[in-house]
């Protein structure tokens, strides 16, 4: 296993509809959680990466603000944004900074404080993540975009609304076990099937919720990692890809090419395949998104993602456990904070710290984080000693 760059600390705030904190306080809580037990002085951090999507709060240049508040100044700080995949883009850049030899310890903090906007304005802001000349002025939204993919997948392969509802049933089961999740209520299939319609065929419980939250990932070179922890989790492979922003320019509406290309790069770099993954966190902003991820990551053949949830293969006792922390559907989706939360779960799984949802003998984990409607995609593969 490659032992170049390790994750030595992961942290997350509670994900909630209204955190009652400032951006700087929110980020501090995530970093404090990540640094717990490391005996890491903030002045030992060589660089920081702050990830979020703009327009949700009033603060501009949040990187300098957060870096100062966490005590990292005068080390360099960077602000990154690839909408919903900003956190894992930050991890990828942090990995690159360490791998290049420029830095030894890099902290990624991802956040979003979405409670300052009402739901209607938040939907408009998210919609502007699409093409502002040819798409978003005509009312395209994130639910609308994913509903197009859901309908195309249903028409092409017979994927059903019941299979999508089963995704939410699974993720609500694990969300009920996650103390940091925004939505902890267990849902049954009937409730999911009979929920109010949002955008055909997606219903209320097919959609994740806006929330406030932050996450932090502390990365270190091999030498530094072993100084701070006896449980380093190594980055084995990382892949990133981008699809056309305008959906009508894409070759297919039944899969995300960005995810497939990112996964191919990550698998090749790690020297593993989908059959080697013991546990995965995927970007389930909508239930159809998790089914697409099963196929795009190679866990199921194209068109057969729905079979995995029918067979309960993605529960923590199944063949390929996926989103056994509740996923975005239960945790909530604080845009910049999402990717780091996914990394946190995989790191904890590989450290065997996940209690009732622990996957037995998990040695290799995968994170898939998507920005927009399949526009950006990061896939990162992690392994333990």
Condensed to tens digits (0 to 9), the pLDDT of residues 60-77 reads 899 999 999 999 999 999
Residue 31 — very low, low, confident or very high, per pLDDT cuts 50/70/90? very high
Q: How far is the first Cα of the chain from the last one, in angstroms, to the nearest whole number?
A: 8
Residue 121 — very low, low, confident or very high, per pLDDT cuts 50/70/90? confident
Condensed to tens digits (0 to 9), the pLDDT of residues 262-312 reads 999 999 999 999 999 999 999 999 999 999 999 999 999 999 999 999 999
pTM of the model: 0.97
Distances (CA, A) of 358 to 266, 282, 316: 24, 17, 7
Domains of the chain: 5-117+211-234 (3.40.47.10), 142-209+236-384 (3.40.47.10)
Q: Which of 181, 205, 217 is nearest to 86 (CA)?
A: 217
Q: 8 with 336: CB under 8 angstroms?
A: no
Q: Which of these ranges, 51-60, 231-240, 313-322, has the smallest mean pLDDT?
A: 51-60
Q: Which of these ranges, 121-135, 199-213, 293-307, has the smallest mean pLDDT?
A: 121-135
3 state DSSP class of 268 = helix
Quote the pLDDT of residue 73: 95
pLDDT at position 247 over 90: no
Q: Which helix (H) or strand (E) holds 173?
A: helix 161-175
Q: 217 with 107: CB under 8 angstroms?
A: yes
Here the tokens at position 156 are 């092409």
Helix axes 62-70, 23-35, angle to 10 degrees: 50
Please state, for a pLDDT cut of 90, what percent of the chain lies above it. Answer: 88
Distances (CA, A) of 325 to 48, 121, 281, 328, 349: 27, 29, 8, 9, 10
Catalytic site positions? 84, 333
């Amino acid at each position: 296993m490659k032992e170049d760059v390790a994750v030595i600390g992961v942290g997350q705030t509670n994900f909630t509809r209204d955190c009652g904190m400032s951006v700087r306080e929110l980020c501090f809580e995530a970093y404090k959680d990540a640094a717990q037990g490391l005996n890491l002085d903030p002045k030992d951090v060589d660089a920081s990466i702050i990830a979020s999507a703009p327009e949700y709060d009033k603060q501009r240049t949040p990187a300098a603000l957060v870096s100062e508040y966490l005590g990292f100044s005068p080390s360099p700080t960077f602000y990154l944004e690839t909408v919903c995949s900003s956190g894992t883009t930050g991890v990828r850049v942090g990995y690159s900074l360490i791998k290049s030899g420029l830095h030894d310890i890099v902290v990624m903090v991802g956040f979003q404080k979405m409670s300052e906007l009402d739901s209607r304005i938040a939907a408009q802001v998210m919609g502007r993540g699409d093409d502002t000349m040819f798409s978003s002025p005509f009312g395209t939204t994130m639910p609308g975009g994913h509903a197009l993919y859901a309908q195309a997948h249903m028409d092409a392969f017979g994927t059903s609304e019941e299979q999508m509802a089963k995704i939410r049933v699974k993720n609500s089961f694990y969300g009920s076990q996650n103390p940091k999740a925004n939505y902890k209520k267990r849902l049954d299939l009937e409730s999911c099937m009979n929920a109010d319609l949002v955008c055909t065929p997606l219903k209320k419980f097919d959609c994740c919720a806006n929330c406030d939250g932050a996450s932090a990932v502390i990365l270190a070179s091999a030498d530094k990692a072993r100084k701070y922890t006896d449980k380093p989790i190594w980055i084995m492979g990382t892949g990133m890809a981008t699809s056309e922003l305008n959906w009508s320019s894409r070759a297919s509406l039944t899969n995300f090419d960005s995810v497939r290309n990112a996964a191919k790069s990550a698998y090749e770099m790690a020297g593993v395949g989908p059959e080697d993954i013991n546990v995965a966190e995927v970007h389930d902003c909508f239930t159809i998104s998790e089914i697409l991820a099963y196929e795009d990551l190679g866990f199921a053949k194209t068109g057969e993602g729905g079979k995995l949830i029918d067979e309960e293969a993605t529960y923590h006792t199944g063949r390929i456990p996926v989103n056994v922390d509740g996923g975005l559907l239960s945790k909530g989706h604080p845009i910049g904070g999402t990717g780091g939360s996914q990394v946190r779960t995989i790191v904890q799984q590989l450290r065997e710290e996940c209690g009732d949802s622990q996957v037995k003998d998990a040695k290799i984990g995968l994170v898939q984080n998507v920005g927009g409607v399949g526009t950006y995609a990061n896939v990162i593969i992690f392994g333990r000693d």
